[in-house]
Structure 1
Amino acid sequence: MQYPKKELREAEGSTTVFSAAIMDLFTQDLSLDDLANLPLKDLAEWLQSKGRGRFKDPEGLAKTIQRAVRSSYRLDQVVSESIDMILGILVREIRSLEKAVKDCDQGIEDLVQTVPEYQCLTSIPGVGPVYAAGLLAEIGQIERFPDQTSLAKYAGLTWPKHQSGRHEAENTPLTKKGNRYFRYYLIEAANSVSRHLPEYQAFYRKKYQETPKHQHKRALVLTARKFVRLVDTLLRNHQLYTPPRSVIEK
C-alpha cells in the first residue's frame, strides 16, 4: 500500500500516520480492496470512534485514505503479508514506547509533587509537570544564582553585541554557551506560556514583527529570555503566579 503520509497531513482535519486511529487502521485484518470498498460512512464513523471525536471532517479523511488506497501499487501477496507483519511489529513497538513515555511522565509528576518549588512553576498557565520538573532539575537551588541575569547566562540566553557606530544589529546569534538542556526547557515552556498568557502572546508577536528573518525562532528565544525573569522571581520569592492587575480587573 502506498504510504499516505503527505495525503494525511494535507487532508481536512489533518492527522499523521502515527496517530492511534491510523495505526489501528493499518493493523486491521482488511485487504486493500476491503478498505477501498468499505462504505464511506462506515469508515468515517470508525475513524471518529478511534480518534475520540477529534477529527473535524472524518468523512473527508476517509475519502483521502480510500483515494490513497485506490491509487496505490498492488504488491505480491507474499510481499504484502511480510510488510503487514513488519508494520504490526512496528506499531506494537511504537505503542510500547508511548506507554513507557507516559509511565515516565507520571513518575516524574509523582516525584516532583513533594518539591515546594514545583508548585511555584506549575502555577504559571502553560507550565505542566514535565516542563516544571525539567526546569527544576537544571536549576537546582535558585540561590546558586545572584540574579535573573546570571540565570539567563546559565541557560545560554545571552547575546554578544554586534554594532557599528550608532547601529546595533537586530539579528545577533546566541552565545552558544550555557546549559542546553535548561535552554531547551525554557524555550519549550515559554512557547507554551505564550499560548496561555496574553502578556507573553503580545510580546511574542511584537518580537516576531520586528524583523523579516528568522521571525519565529527569534521571537521564541526572546520570549524565553523574558520568561527567565518570571521563573527567577517566583522561585526566589517562593510565590505562586498571579496575573497582572489589568487582567484581574477584566
Structure 2
Amino acid sequence: MNKLFVGMDISLDDVKVHILDQDGIDACSRFSIDNNPSGCNILVSHILDCCNKYNIQKVFIGLESTSVYGWHIQYYLADHASLKPFNPSVTTFNANTVKAFKKSLGNLPKNDWVDAFVIAEKLRFGRLPKSCPVDFRYLALQRLTRHRFHIVDSIVREKNYFLSNLFLKFSGLCQTKVFSNNFGTTATEIFNEFLTLDDIAARPLEDLVAFLVDKGRDHFNDPNATAKLLQEAVRKSYRINANVNDSLNFVIKSCLDNIQYLEKQKKASEKTIVNEVKGFKNQFLCLTSVNGIGPTIAAVLISEIGGISRFDNDNALAKFSGIYWSEYQSADFKAEDTYLKRTGNEYLRYYFIQAVDQLRKYCPEFSQYYARKFNESKTHKHKRALVLTARKAVRLVFALYFHCCFW
C-alpha cells in the first residue's frame, strides 16, 4: 500500500508543509500556505496531486500541538470530502515527542521548514498514537467543559488575589478564624458597612451582634462570641494610611464583584453543559450511576475521553490522562521512588481527581482504598492518596464505558 506523509509546522499566520513518500523522498517541493480556508484548499490540492501522481492509498498528516493555531486545519483536513478516499489519518504530536525524535536525525538546525520535515519523517517512522474518526459532538461539549475549567481557574486566582489584599486591609481577619468562610455574605458585607477598622472598633458590641444576626440570617450559633472575635481581630490588625485604605477598599470590592460575576458564569456554563451532554445519554447514565460523579464531572469525562474504542485497556486511558508513574530499572536495580507523569490530558487528570474527592465520600470501596493509601503515605498524604485512588477510578470509568453498564 502506497503511503503519503504530510508534515506541517503551524503558526498564527502561515503553515510550512513538507510532503514525503514512503521511501522518504520529497513528493513535491516544500511550500507555505496561509493559515485560513483558502490556504487549506491549496494544501488539499497539493495532497491530491501527490496522491494521483504516486497512486497513494493512505495519507498520514501530522502537526505539533501549538495552542489553538492548528485546531481548524486539523479538523478541516480530517473532514474534507476530497480526502476521504485516501482515509486520512491526522495526528497531533506533543512538542516534546517531536523534539526527542529530531535528536535522532542528527544535528539539524531549528527553523519552521526543518520542523515540518521532522514531523513528516516521524509519521514515516511509525509507532503513532491510535487514530480515531473525528466526532464533532465531542468537540462541542469539550469547548464548554474546558471553558468551565478556565472559569474555575480564574475564580481560584481571583480569590487568592483577594486574600492577599485582605491581609493588607484587615490582617487580623486572616489570622483569626472569625468566619467559616471569608468569602461568605457576612464577611464580605463588612467592607460595605465599615470603611475602616476604626469604624468597627468604635461600634458597641450590641451593634456588631445585631449586624451579624441581620447579615447572617440567624445562622450564627453564638453571634455574641463571633462579635467578640471580630473585635479581637480588629485589635490585632495593623493600621494603614488613609490613602492606602481607600485604594484597598476599591480593590477589595472590585475583587468581590469579579468573584461574584465568575460564580454566575460558572453556573451558566454548567447549565449549558447539562443541556449539551444530553446527546450522550448512554454514557451519561452509566457514569452518573456512580454516587459521587455528578453531571458536570460526567460531561467532562465524556468530552475528554471521546470514544472508548480509542483505548485498548484502562492502562491506555490512564496514560492518556497522565495518571501513571515513571519506572527506572537497570539489571538488578529497581528504583523505589517513582514520580507521577504529567504528560497527558491535564483536563482529564484534573477531573478524575475531582471525581475521586467525591467518590471517597460516597462509595465505601473508594473510601477504604483512600484511607489505606493515606496511611501508607509518609508525606503529602492527602494529595498522594487522591492521585492513587484516581488510578482506581480510571479502571471503574473504563469498565462502565466499555461495557456500557451501570454501577
TM-score category (smaller protein)? 0.7 to 0.9
Q: Cα 1:207–1:75, aligned 2, differ >3 Å: closer, same or farther?
A: closer
Deviation at 1:51, TM superposition (A): 4.7
Cα contact 1:7–1:64 (8 A) shared by 2: no
Match of 2:276 in 1: 111
- CA deviation map 1:190-210 (0-9, x unaligned): 122112211111101111222
- Does 2:404 match 1:238? yes
Which sections of structure 1, spanning at least 5 residues, go unmatched?
242-250
User: Which residue, 225, 247, 257 being the options, matches 1:92?
Assistant: 257
Cα contact 1:4–1:65 (8 A) shared by 2: no
Cα contact 2:179–2:187 (8 A) shared by 1: no
Q: How does 1:1-250 map to 2 (within 5 A)?
A: 3-4=169-170, 7-8=173-174, 10-11=176-177, 14-16=180-182, 18-28=183-193, 31-40=196-205, 42-44=207-209, 46-47=211-212, 50-51=215-216, 58-116=223-281, 117-162=283-328, 171-241=337-407
CA distance in 2, matches of 1:142, 1:81: 56
Amino acid at match of 2:252: L
More moved, 35-44 vs 182-191: 35-44
CA distance in 2, matches of 1:118, 1:6: 47
CA distance in 1, matches of 2:366, 2:184: 31
Cα contact 1:13–1:57 (8 A) shared by 2: no
More moved, 215-224 vs 59-68: 59-68
* Secondary structure, counterpart of 2:193 in structure 1: coil
Cα contact 1:12–1:56 (8 A) shared by 2: no
Deviation at 1:127, TM superposition (A): 1.5
CA distance in 1, matches of 2:222, 2:336: 43
Query: Greater RCO between the two (CA within 8 Å, min separation 6)?
Result: 1
CA distance in 1, matches of 2:176, 2:366: 30
Cα contact 2:213–2:223 (8 A) shared by 1: yes
More moved, 193-202 vs 103-112: 103-112
More moved, 92-101 vs 168-177: 168-177
Cα contact 1:234–1:240 (8 A) shared by 2: yes
Q: Cα 1:85–1:179, aligned 2, differ >3 Å: closer, same or farther?
A: closer
Match of 2:136 in 1: none
More moved, 38-47 vs 195-204: 38-47
Which sections of structure 2, spanning at least 5 residues, go unmatched?
1-165
CA distance in 1, matches of 2:171, 2:288: 36
Cα contact 1:194–1:204 (8 A) shared by 2: yes
Q: Matched residue pairs, number? A: 240
More moved, 37-46 vs 109-118: 37-46
Q: Cα 1:149–1:79, aligned 2, differ >3 Å: closer, same or farther?
A: closer
* Secondary structure, counterpart of 1:178 in structure 2: coil
Cα contact 2:286–2:406 (8 A) shared by 1: yes
CA distance in 2, matches of 1:132, 1:105: 12
Q: Cα 1:5–1:59, aligned 2, differ >3 Å: closer, same or farther?
A: farther
Q: Cα 1:95–1:175, aligned 2, differ >3 Å: closer, same or farther?
A: closer
- CA deviation map 1:109-147 (0-9, x unaligned): 222234211222222111122211211111011122122
Cα contact 1:8–1:14 (8 A) shared by 2: no
- CA deviation map 1:122-179 (0-9, x unaligned): 2211112221121111101112212222111211222233457778655411233321
CA distance in 2, matches of 1:83, 1:73: 14
When normalised by structure 1's length, the TM-score is: 0.79
CA RMSD of aligned residues (A): 3.0
Deviation at 1:41, TM superposition (A): 5.2
Q: Cα 1:12–1:77, aligned 2, differ >3 Å: closer, same or farther?
A: closer
Cα contact 1:11–1:60 (8 A) shared by 2: no
Deviation at 1:189, TM superposition (A): 0.9
Cα contact 1:13–1:55 (8 A) shared by 2: no
* Secondary structure, counterpart of 1:127 in structure 2: coil
Greater percentage in strand: 2
> Between Structure 1 and Structure 2, whose CA radius of gyration is higher?
2
Amino acid at match of 1:239: C
Cα contact 2:171–2:237 (8 A) shared by 1: no
* Secondary structure, counterpart of 1:194 in structure 2: helix
Deviation at 1:47, TM superposition (A): 3.6
* Secondary structure, counterpart of 1:120 in structure 2: helix
When normalised by structure 2's length, the TM-score is: 0.51
Deviation at 1:91, TM superposition (A): 2.2
